[in-house]
């Protein structure tokens, strides 16, 4: 809670400045929307003269009590909003359109252009997302296009400069064959995406294995995109299950792989066999099934065989699991190849059970609490601490709201800590949280 006599944002900032904190003296308390527009006009002119870069102006409700009453959505406070400056725009020429295949088979066009300086960086590529957008913009090879950064971050083509188009220009023809495997591309019903549906497509296999090994999924340290590419090129793996059948002799064929590298990778693969089933489920890369959905589904059904047998109705009965996720999951497990893959993983000793005990966790400080982690942790990685808290029955979320029961913070805690403080939410240092966990462990 704020100190006595501090009931507004501008008072809080003023007090912090008196205490020696670095504050921004450009802030201003305004009484009308007209004054807000004048302020925006003023800093639109001044932005290039500031000693730091800005992409907009944040407008906040000044009254701290009203801020607390307005609260937050899942992602953002309801008491503040950002005005964004119009993006900086440059013209450049499209020289090529490249098509890449993702792990779900979606084929995405990317414009390759003459490099230009834009919002502080050199830009030469911009995603065109899908064939429908490519057709809508009518981007052609040799076209001069207007390029900006959406949100001052993502390069984006806003349109074609038609007056600079060559007279002999012809519409760009969308490919009909997969650039990776050569199979026919398809447009599935109600999708704007163009897809390769060949399950053996090398590009999809490569992306899929890389995703399976990633930190959020099976966390196989050392198995990055370059190693995966080599494993596929040398015909050592064809799917994620093949990882668990690799030998030292196999890995010795990889470039720069000596005894230590081989030993480390085999150890990382072996260690991943012990993961809880939600990590396997997420790692499979099923359309629309993200890490959170995989966690909720595994928590409900407890093992892979029950997950694979679950109906759409059973899945949508889980809070926040909708029809799209449920249909993607059931469609995946109806495939014979998917069932064979799961069987091979199980034969390789990959755990297929849910290892979290949240619903059956014994009473402890964190059971049933909604917890947020912030700042730099010293004793755990963020994912390790999240997993430990979930095992104790806590729900770990990414943002602070009135529903948050506890904030655990490390060094350099920022806005989440400030919000928790403003809302009067209990705050624990990492060491204090670990102490409470160890108190419970000592009772066992």
Strands (E), 143-234: 144-150, 154-160, 185-186, 194-196
**How confident is the model at residue 361, as a pLDDT?**
59
Asked whether the beta carbons of 408 and 373 are under 8 A apart, the reply is yes
Instruction: Classify residue 120 by its DSSP letter.
Output: T
Does the pLDDT value for residue 443 go beyond 80? no
**Between 2 and 224, where is the model more confident?**
224
pLDDT band at 1 (very low <50, low <70, confident <90, very high): low
Confidence of residue 82 (pLDDT cuts 50, 70, 90): very high
The owner of tokens 């995405």 is 108
- Say which DSSP state 81 is in: E
Mean pLDDT of the chain: 89
What is the rounded CA–CA span in Å between residue 211 and residue 213?
Answer: 5
Q: 277-347: which CATH topology?
A: DNA polymerase; domain 1 (1.10.150)
High-pLDDT (> 70) share of the chain, %: 96
Residues 6 or more apart in contact with residue 39 via CB below 8 angstroms: 28, 30, 57
56: Cβ contacts below 8 Å, ≥ 6 apart:
82, 83, 84, 85
The CATH number of 358-443, from 3.40.50.10190, 3.40.50.2000, 3.40.1160.10, 3.40.1410.10, is: 3.40.50.10190
* pLDDT over 90 (residue 155): yes
User: CATH topology for 202-266?
Assistant: DNA polymerase; domain 1 (1.10.150)
CATH topology of domain 87-197: OB fold (Dihydrolipoamide Acetyltransferase, E2P) (2.40.50)
Is residue 357's pLDDT more than 60? no
Q: 440 or 374, which is more confident? A: 374
Angle at 217 between CA 154 and CA 409, to 5 degrees: 75
CA 141, chain centre distance (Å): 32
Is 277-347 in the same CATH topology as 202-266? yes
Pairing type for strands 185-186 and 194-196 reads antiparallel
Q: Per-residue pLDDT for 358 more than 60?
A: no
- Of the candidate ranges 119-133, 176-190, 307-321, the one whose mean pLDDT is the lowest: 176-190
Task: For the chain, give the percent of residues with pLDDT over 90.
Answer: 61
pLDDT top residue among 364 and 123: 123
The pLDDT value given to residue 284: 94
DSSP 254: S
Q: Which CATH number fits domain 9-84: 2.130.10.10, 1.20.120.530, 3.30.1490.70, 3.40.50.2300?
A: 3.30.1490.70
Arithmetic mean of pLDDT, 375-382: 86
* pLDDT score, position 440: 60
Query: CA–CA separation, 132 vs 161, rounded Å?
Result: 19
| pLDDT interval class at 441 (50, 70, 90) | low
More reliable by pLDDT, 304 or 215: 304
The answer to whether 423 and 389 have CB atoms below 8 angstroms apart is no
The confidence score (pLDDT) of residue 360 equals 53
The answer to whether 39 and 22 are in contact (CB under 8 A) is: no
User: In the structure encoding, which two tokens stand for residue 49, read together?
Assistant: 């003269």
Q: What ranges do the domains of the chain cover?
A: 9-84, 87-197, 202-266, 277-347, 358-443
Question: How many Å apart are CA 259 and CA 251, to the nearest integer?
Answer: 9
> Quick check: helix, strand or coil at residue 116?
strand
18-29 tens-digit pLDDT: 999 999 889 999
**What does the radius of gyration of the chain's CA atoms come to, in whole angstroms?**
26
- What token pair was written down for 249? 């002799």
Question: pLDDT confidence of 161, banded at 50, 70, 90?
Answer: very high
3-class SS of residue 219: coil
pLDDT of 114 strictly over 90? yes
The pLDDT of residue 48 is above 60: yes
pLDDT at 305: 95
Asked whether the beta carbons of 93 and 157 are under 8 A apart, the reply is no
- On the question of pLDDT at 213 being above 80, the answer is yes
Q: Which residue has the higher pLDDT, 411 or 109?
A: 109
Q: What is the mean pLDDT of residues 419-442?
A: 86
């Amino acid at each position: 809670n704020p100190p006595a006599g501090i009931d507004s944002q501008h008072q809080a900032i003023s007090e912090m400045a008196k205490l020696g904190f670095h504050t921004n003296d450009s802030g201003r308390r305004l009484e009308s929307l007209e004054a807000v527009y004048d302020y925006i006009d003023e800093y639109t002119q001044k932005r290039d003269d500031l000693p730091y870069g800005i992409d907009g102006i944040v407008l906040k409700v000044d009254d701290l009590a009203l801020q607390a009453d307005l609260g937050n959505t899942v992602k953002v406070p309801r008491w503040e909003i950002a005005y964004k400056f119009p993006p900086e725009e440059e013209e450049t020429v499209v020289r090529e359109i490249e098509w890449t295949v993702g792990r779900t088979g979606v084929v995405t066009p990317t414009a390759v252009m003459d490099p230009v300086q834009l919002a502080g960086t050199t830009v030469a590529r911009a995603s065109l997302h899908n064939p429908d957008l490519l057709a809508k913009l009518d981007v052609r090879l040799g076209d001069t296009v207007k390029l900006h950064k959406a949100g001052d971050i993502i390069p984006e083509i806003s349109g074609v400069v038609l007056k600079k188009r060559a007279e002999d220009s012809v519409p760009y023809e969308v490919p009909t064959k997969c650039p990776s495997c050569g199979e026919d591309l398809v447009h599935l019903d109600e999708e704007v995406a163009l897809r390769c549906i060949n399950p053996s497509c090398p590009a999809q296999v490569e992306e899929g294995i890389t995703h399976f090994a990633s930190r959020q999924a099976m966390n196989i340290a050392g198995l990055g995109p370059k190693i995966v590419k080599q494993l596929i090129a040398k015909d050592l793996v064809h799917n994620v299950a093949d990882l668990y059948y690799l030998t030292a002799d196999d890995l010795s064929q990889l470039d720069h792989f000596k005894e230590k590298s081989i030993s480390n990778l085999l150890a990382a693969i072996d260690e991943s066999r012990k993961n809880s089933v939600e990590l396997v489920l997420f790692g499979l890369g099923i359309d629309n099934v993200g890490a959170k959905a995989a966690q909720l589904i595994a928590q409900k059904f407890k093992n892979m065989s029950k997950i694979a047998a679950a109906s759409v109705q059973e899945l949508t009965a889980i809070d926040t699991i909708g029809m799209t996720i449920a249909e993607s999951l059931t469609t995946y497990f109806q495939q014979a190849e998917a069932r064979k893959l799961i069987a091979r993983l199980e034969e390789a000793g990959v755990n297929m059970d849910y290892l979290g005990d949240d619903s059956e966790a014994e009473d402890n400080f964190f059971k049933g609490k909604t917890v947020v982690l912030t700042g730099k942790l010293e004793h755990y990685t963020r994912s390790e601490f999240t997993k430990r808290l979930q095992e104790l029955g806590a729900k770990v979320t990414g943002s602070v709201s009135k529903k948050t029961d506890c904030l655990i913070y490390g060094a350099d805690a920022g806005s989440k800590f400030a919000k928790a403080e403003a809302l009067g939410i209990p705050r624990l240092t990492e060491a204090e949280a670990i102490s409470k966990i160890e108190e419970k462990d000592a009772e066992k």
